């Protein structure tokens, strides 16, 4: 069998002009539809019996991770915003189609109590937590420092960073040796865009979070890692207020010449959650289409 050319394996042309009026972005209006592995991911039992809590698991990278985890044998709980209920239901359908338990929670992770409730709900419904995936994120495009509003910056930090701290704090007492925490950082941690200043700051901080928490939890046998996506075609992109030309040319500046699809990250999360990565902790796995990290 000949391997597919990675430059053309997924959508490699310009994207049609499209904008979504506000976040959270939704999957249904996207053109082309993102690939979450619905028809391509085949499980091999690598996460059999695991119980995973995935924030932002309704769409994009989070949905791809939920699908892959379920097909690898894990039960899945996700956290999503109320506006994302339709996307969450589709994720649930895919998880249950794989024969695994599914639980969705509509919660705003900018609130500490919501993070506490998310962990409690996953423990109650799944019986525990073996894998925590800190994936929920928020970003806004801003044209210069003079347009930075404290309320928006606060939302970015609370969603992307503070929630990861609270979720880990609440989840760790329910996790035993062999459990793992995986966070979604970004190429923005090392190649920050000026229009995404606060977002890039949080993603860089998640790298430090990963390295420090790995040292903290190593003595308990809990591994902590991160995945750093490059430009990935998710609802976050048309909902970020990017100029039309940036959406149209999204991902074409990578060495592989195209944006990535959510399914192309799922394998990194499965690996980090599995026994195959038993000696991997404090690491950041880049999935960037060739851009350095």
The catalytic site residues sit at 199
Q: Give the span between the Cα atoms of 25 and 274, in whole angstroms.
A: 30
Strand, coil or helix: 184: strand
Q: Give the span between the Cα atoms of 71 and 281, in whole angstroms.
A: 24
| 223-229/284-287 β-pairing | parallel
Q: Are 52 and 129 in contact (CB under 8 A)?
A: yes
Q: Give the span between the Cα atoms of 154 and 151, in whole angstroms.
A: 5
Q: Give the span between the Cα atoms of 261 and 13, in whole angstroms.
A: 13
Residue owning tokens 């979450």:
36
Q: Give the span between the Cα atoms of 262 and 32, in whole angstroms.
A: 13
Per the structure block, which two tokens stand in for 127?
A: 């019986």
Could you tell me the end-to-end alpha-carbon distance of the chain, in angstroms, rounded to an integer?
31
Closest of 141, 281, 256 to residue 200, by C-alpha: 141
Per the structure block, which two tokens stand in for 51?
A: 């119980």
Q: Give the span between the Cα atoms of 249 and 202, in whole angstroms.
A: 25
Burial of residue 260, with CB atoms counted within 10 A of its CB: 0-12 exposed, 13-18 middle, 19 or more buried: buried
């Amino acid at each position: 069998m000949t391997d597919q050319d990675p430059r053309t394996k997924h959508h490699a042309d310009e994207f049609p002009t499209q904008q979504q009026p506000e976040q959270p972005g939704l999957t249904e209006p996207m053109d082309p539809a993102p690939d979450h592995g619905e028809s391509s991911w085949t499980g091999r039992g690598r996460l059999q019996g695991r119980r995973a809590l995935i924030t932002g698991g309704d769409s994009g990278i989070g949905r791809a991770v939920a699908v892959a985890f379920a097909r690898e044998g894990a039960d899945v709980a996700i956290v999503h915003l109320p506006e994302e209920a339709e996307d969450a239901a589709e994720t649930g359908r895919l998880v249950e189609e794989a024969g695994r338990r599914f639980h969705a929670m509509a919660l705003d992770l900018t609130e500490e109590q919501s993070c506490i409730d998310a962990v409690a709900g996953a423990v109650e419904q799944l019986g525990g937590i073996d894998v925590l995936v800190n994936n929920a994120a928020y970003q806004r495009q801003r044209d210069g420092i003079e347009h930075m509003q404290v309320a928006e910056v606060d939302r970015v930090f609370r969603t992307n960073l503070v929630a990861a701290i609270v979720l880990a704090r609440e989840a760790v007492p329910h996790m035993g040796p062999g459990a793992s925490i995986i966070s979604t950082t970004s190429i923005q941690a090392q190649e920050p865009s000026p229009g995404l200043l606060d977002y890039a700051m949080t993603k860089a901080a998640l790298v430090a979070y990963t390295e420090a928490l790995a040292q903290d939890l190593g003595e308990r046998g809990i591994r902590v890692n991160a995945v750093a996506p490059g430009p990935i075609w998710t609802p976050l992109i048309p909902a970020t207020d990017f100029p039309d030309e940036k959406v149209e040319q999204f991902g074409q500046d990578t060495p592989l010449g195209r944006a990535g699809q959510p399914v192309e990250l799922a394998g990194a999360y499965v690996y980090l959650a599995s026994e195959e990565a038993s000696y991997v902790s404090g690491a950041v796995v880049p999935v960037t289409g060739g851009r350095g990290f």
